[in-house]
């Protein structure tokens, strides 16, 4: 289930943080974990995880391995591995995910579509390979 | 051969004792070398370039951030730069105020600087480039009315605060771990709302209707201007307490 503590642990060393007073326009693409607390318009993508804070307002399609949503999103979300939707989330768009958890109070206006099992497995294998590869 | 470049402000009386103490310490450690005093030289670039041509193994900036920037400015983008990068090390002996570059390299004062020169712990360091000006530490600008464009997106804030574009971290307050040999600039935005923003980029463009970009706390540049990173440009002698790994 959705846990704030696990979020904080995972995003403690996030490479990218968009603060609550910041507005981003365009195609934002990162490689590490991303935290968004501000406004973003365009698209949002990373190979790792995205945390969308409860003050965030996003008008964009979002794609990542794991996505945690607490804010407002107008656009589609694709979480190849895990999608966690918090109680303060407002989502206006379609959701694609490997696994999902939804907290009570969340607003979702869109279709929910589970990604095929092999797609999900592929992502998991990739993740395990990454974790098992010794750092150079 | 060591070449010590003394900045012109060191000729002031209040620094005499410090300089005497420094020179005695350098002699004791067997690190003495040629001294060039910038105060009496009109062609600073020429003087520094000449020492590299003559085969200086270590160029040591004795002074503050401006001294370091003068030396870097004298060698980068010249025919000598290739030789400098291969054969010459840059050392720093901080004296007086405005020494955040030395602090970043883990050099607190002139006494510690002598021991660090002796230990010769060497790091390849990236340089930031703003237009035609190079910087080691950081460039900063007020956030209000400023837009940053990176690749396919732009960033702006209406809040008052400060944007720092960091190559080499000079204070630990930001909480970010800037690495001056990762080939990336760290962009750090702190506003009065006390929220923080940090991200990295190789190249960006800054535009501001109200403010100028301040480079290493000493030089102001008009916007719009490009800021980019030049990887592994200078070999620097650093202390073990440096602010990066």
Confidence at residue B52, expressed as pLDDT on a 0 to 100 scale: 84
Chain A environment of B198 (Cβ under 8 Å)? 16-17
The residue ranges of every structural domain in chain B are: 2-120, 130-231
What CATH number is given for B130-231 in this structure? 2.60.200.40
Query: Residues B54-86: pLDDT tens digits?
Result: 888 899 999 998 899 888 888 776 777 777 777
Closest CA to B154 of B206, B214, B229, B221: B206
Please provide the size of chain A in residues.
136
Query: Residues A27-86: pLDDT tens digits?
Result: 999 879 999 999 999 999 999 999 999 999 999 999 999 999 999 999 999 999 999 999
Confidence at residue A49, expressed as pLDDT on a 0 to 100 scale: 95
Q: Select from A15, A28, A29 the Cβ nearest to the Cβ of B200.
A: A15
Q: Select from A19, A26, A37 the Cβ nearest to the Cβ of B153.
A: A26
pLDDT more than 90, % of chain A: 72
Query: Residues B80-121: pLDDT tens digits?
Result: 777 777 778 999 999 998 898 899 899 999 999 999 999 999
ipTM exceeds 0.95, yes or no: no
Query: Residues B131-172: pLDDT tens digits?
Result: 888 888 899 999 999 999 999 999 998 889 999 999 987 666
**Distance in angstroms (rounded) separating the CA atoms of residues B209 and B218:** 21
Between chains, do B199 and A18 touch, taking CB under 8 Å as contact? Answer: yes
Phi and psi at A125, nearest 5°, equal -60, -45
Q: Per DSSP, what are the bridge partners of residue B58?
A: B2, B89
What CATH number is given for B2-120 in this structure? 3.40.50.10330
Q: What is the mean pLDDT of residues B178-186?
A: 90
- A128 CB neighbour count, 10 Å cutoff: 10
- Judged by a CB distance cut-off of 8 A, whether residue B175 touches chain A is no
Between chains, do B153 and A20 touch, taking CB under 8 Å as contact? Answer: no
B49-53, B144-148, B223-227, range with the lowest pLDDT: B49-53
Measured in angstroms, the CA of B137 and the nearest CA of chain A are apart by 20
Between chains, do A15 and B152 touch, taking CB under 8 Å as contact? Answer: no
Chain A environment of B191 (Cβ under 8 Å)? 19, 21
């Amino acid at each position: 289930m959705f846990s704030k503590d696990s979020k904080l642990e995972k995003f403690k060393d996030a490479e990218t943080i968009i603060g609550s007073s910041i507005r981003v326009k365009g195609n934002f693409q990162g490689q590490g974990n991303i935290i968004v607390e501000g406004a973003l318009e365009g698209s949002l993508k990373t190979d790792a995880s995205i945390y969308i804070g409860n003050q965030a307002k996003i008008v964009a399609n979002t794609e990542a391995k794991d996505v945690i949503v607490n804010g407002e999103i107008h656009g589609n979300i694709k979480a190849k591995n895990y999608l966690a939707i918090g109680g303060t989330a407002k989502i206006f768009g379609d959701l694609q995910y490997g696994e999902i958890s939804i907290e009570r109070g969340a607003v979702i206006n869109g279709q929910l579509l589970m990604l095929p099992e092999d797609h999900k497995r592929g992502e998991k294998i990739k993740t395990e390979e990454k974790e098992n590869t010794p750092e150079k | 051969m060591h070449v010590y470049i003394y900045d012109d402000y060191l000729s002031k009386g209040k620094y005499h004792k410090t300089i005497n103490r420094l020179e005695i310490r350098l002699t004791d450690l067997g690190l003495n070398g040629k001294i060039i005093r910038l105060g009496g030289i009109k062609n600073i670039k020429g003087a520094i370039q000449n020492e590299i041509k003559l085969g200086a193994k270590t160029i040591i900036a004795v002074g503050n951030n401006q001294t370091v920037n003068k030396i870097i400015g004298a060698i980068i983008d010249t025919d000598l730069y290739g030789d400098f990068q291969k054969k010459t090390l840059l050392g720093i002996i901080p004296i007086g105020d405005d020494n955040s570059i030395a602090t970043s390299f883990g050099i607190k004062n002139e006494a510690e600087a002598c021991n660090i020169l002796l230990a010769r712990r060497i790091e390849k360091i990236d340089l930031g480039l703003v237009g035609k000006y190079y910087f080691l530490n950081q460039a900063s600008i007020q956030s209000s009315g400023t837009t940053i464009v990176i690749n396919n997106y732009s960033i702006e804030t209406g809040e008052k605060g400060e944007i720092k574009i960091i190559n080499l971290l000079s204070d630990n307050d930001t909480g970010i771990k800037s690495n001056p040999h990762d080939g990336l600039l760290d962009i750090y935005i702190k506003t009065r709302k006390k929220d923080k923003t940090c991200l990295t980029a190789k190249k960006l463009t800054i535009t501001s209707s109200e403010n100028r970009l301040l480079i290493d706390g000493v030089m102001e540049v008009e916007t719009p201007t490009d800021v980019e990173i030049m990887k592994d440009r200078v070999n620097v002698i650093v202390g073990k307490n440096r602010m990066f790994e």
